[in-house]
A and B are shown apart, each in its own frame.
Chain A
Amino acid sequence: MESKFPSKWLPYIVLLPTIVVCGMFLYYPVAQSFSWSLLRSAFMGLRTMYVGTQNYVRLFTSPAYLESLWVTLLFAGGIVGLGLSISLAIALLANRKVRFSRIYRIALIWPYALSPAVAGTIWLFLFNPTAGIVNYVLERTIGISPDWVTSQPLAVFLVITAAVWKNLGYNIVFFLAGLQNVPGQVLEAARIDGASSWRCFWRITLPLLSPTAFFLLIMNMIYAFFGTFGLIDVLTKGGPAGATNILIYNLYRDAFQHNKWGLAATQSVILFVMVVGLTLIQFRTTGKKVHYGG
């Protein structure tokens, strides 16, 4: 149905660089992660031996790794729950037709351009017990001055809020794009029939936004899994006592601080399986258009 250029070899030539880079630097290392996950390194990573599925068994029976898994899920849940609800509220606000709405939008989404490490650095300062502002306010209002990075629940709170703040812009952009698909006439008709704004939101806007929300849910989980490495490295280095030691941080330490290549490759494979799972769920559901279901 579409018009094409007639050429037998040109498409292969223009695709060749992409195929070579993908094959060499993406497929090949991923495949190696699989084969290396069956190896164990000894003598500071200088020698390796075949150990079968021993690495997998070792990880899934290790309390530290299971805790890291649990921490990651908690962390991802916090980022998704807080991040999506706050950014949806802001997007609804920014979607109102007022003057200067374009300037407001920029003012709401610009943290997208910040790096996780920058977010971590600023958070470290904001929550610093002596020089920061948060403890000053808390002390003046309710008389407490906690030490955030040494307390387990507070450190988790710290990394989640920093990660959410940094990712708000990304979420707001997609919610605003999704809101453009909500037909104004439908909302107007509902209003004329006497539906309250609250009801309109739950019965019309939210179901129509569900594909966007679902897409963002997956993207935020992937962000929580991988994108927050720098933030954690700056803020807590996985501590205190493993409270913020998410899977990617655990992997980094095993690979590049303890030279456990085989064990690290195994963790890569586990992460890969999780990403594949999330991506497949996303492909299937966005293909099915979530909002027709409800």
Chain B
Amino acid sequence: MADRKTARNWYYWRPKLSTASTHIALLLTALLIAAPIIFALIKSTQSTAQINTYPPQFSVGTAAAENYGVAWERYNLGRLMLNTLAVAGSVMVGKTILSLFAALAFVYFDFRFKGLIFIFVLITLMMPVPVRIVPLFKLISNLGWGDTMAALTVPFLASATGMFLFRQHFMSIPSSLVDAARVDGVGPMRFLWQILIPMSLNTIGALAVIEFVYLWNQYLWPLIIVSSNDNQMIQMAVKRLTTAGPEGIVHWGVSMAGVVITMLPPLIMFIILQEQFMRGFALTEEK
């Protein structure tokens, strides 16, 4: 009798225990992943004296307003974030349009050299900036685009990734839609605008996240092509955060405040569109 009772208890408790341990493990993992940022957040509020005390303090400090203010002013963050926003916005819009156009051509038309042109675009996947950086730098300089927004936008407008994402998505849309559109006399551009785009919002959202994160975090290209501080991209401010300030030392409170400010826009974008990102990107990219 006693055995049966404990057995019943075990079968009753086991799933609950397992669920509880899953929750605990997930919470701990999430905490561990976030720990460096939590640390940065706390330290961004402390004064130099509070940061340098031993043992370290893990409470919110008293210099938050000062640190964030100094970081904002000293590293020109407002200006650089606006520049980056403008570049990211233009590239995202341009790239989305060009990718939609290209996918439209590849899925809804038959034309000569179709396979060849498709391969031509696909091969550009193997051409990240570093494998063409020296000639690209010279080309942009010769065009007189050095230190302009054109240097940061135009070379990035075409995208094999975007074309491929939209193509995969269009191919999953039933072809009866095209037939219906053609019977009703709807041309391809109206078909794209009124039918395909409203049906592609998830993919557009996914591409927007990928591109925004990529462009906001771009480092090497702005480092070499932009020369004036007022035209610079935001990651170059991050680069300067850990160089010594006017006091001759690195003010870590200010640095961490700068880190927090500059990481927010892509993070917000990601959190708003994470559902689209998960669905439109990871689930279609493979297979």
Contact = CB atoms under 8 A, between A and B. Distances in A.
Given A122-B36, A125-B252, A272-B127, A264 B139 contact: no
A80 B127 CA distance: 21
A173 B235 contact: no
A185 to B, nearest CB: 20
B107 to A, nearest CB: 8
Contacts of B137: 255-256
B130 A271 contact: yes
A17 B98 contact: yes
A124 interface: yes
Given A22-B120, A122-B40, A234-B239, A117 B217 contact: yes
A268 B133 contact: yes
Contacts of A15: 101-102, 105, 117
Contacts of A24: 139
B33 A165 contact: yes
Interface in A1-21: 2-5, 7-8, 10-12, 14-15, 17-19, 21
B246 interface: no
Interface residues of B, number: 95
A268 B131 contact: yes
Interface stretch (B6-14, B61-69, B197-205, B277-285): B277-285
A294 to B, nearest CB: 18
B157 to A, nearest CB: 5
A5 B181 CA distance: 10
A293 B89 CA distance: 45
A242 interface: no
A17 B158 contact: yes
Contacts of A14: 101-102, 104-105
B263 A230 contact: no
B40 A125 contact: yes
A26 B158 contact: yes
A21 B19 contact: no
Interface string A252-294: 1001100001001100110110011001000000100000000
28 contacts: A5-B109, A7-B188, A11-B105, A12-B111, A14-B102, A14-B104, A18-B99, A25-B139, A25-B155, A26-B132, A29-B133, A32-B139, A94-B26, A98-B23, A114-B267, A115-B235, A121-B242, A122-B39, A122-B40, A131-B52, A177-B282, A211-B286, A226-B129, A233-B219, A234-B238, A251-B133, A264-B133, A272-B126
Interface of A: 2-5, 7-8, 10-12, 14-15, 17-19, 21-22, 24-30, 32-33, 36, 90, 93-94, 96, 98, 104-118, 121-126, 128, 130-131, 133, 136, 140, 165, 168, 173-174, 176-178, 180, 211-212, 215, 222, 225-226, 229-230, 233-234, 248, 251-252, 255-256, 261, 264-265, 268-269, 271-272, 275-276, 279, 286
